Amino acid sequence: MGRTTSPSGPRVLRHESQIVRDAIALVASGGASRVVIAGLRFADDVVDPARVAAAGAGLRVRTLARASGDGVDLSIDAVGE
């Protein structure tokens, strides 16, 4: 999985974590059946907490293959989907 180190790294990590939490909330609320988030740079720090949060809401988080190899894409959907 991808990781970027730069002075803006902590800000980007917080932003990506918030995007993932919002996507989980959207699917959990029924507002969407699936959300795909593309190009996360801090996947190593975001994926495991996202999986825990999603599981608590009856959802799953899957990593998706990227052609470029930079970053990672996530899919958040209901376990039965």
Inter-residue contact 35 to 75 (CB < 8 Å): yes
Residue 69 lies in a domain: yes
Residue 21 lies in a domain: yes
pLDDT of residue 1: 47
- CA dist., res. 4 & res. 25, Å (int): 26
Residue 23 lies in a domain: yes
With CA atoms as reference, report the closest residue to 37 among 68, 52, 16, 54.
16
Number of domains forming the structure of the chain: 1
Residue 2 lies in a domain: no
Residue 52 lies in a domain: yes
Residue 1 lies in a domain: no
Quote the domain boundaries for residue 35.
9-78
pLDDT of residue 67: 77
Q: How would you write the pLDDT of the chain (81 residues) with one tens digit per residue?
A: 445 455 688 999 999 999 999 999 999 999 999 999 999 988 889 999 999 999 999 999 999 988 777 788 999 999 876
pTM for the full predicted model? 0.84
pLDDT of residue 66: 80
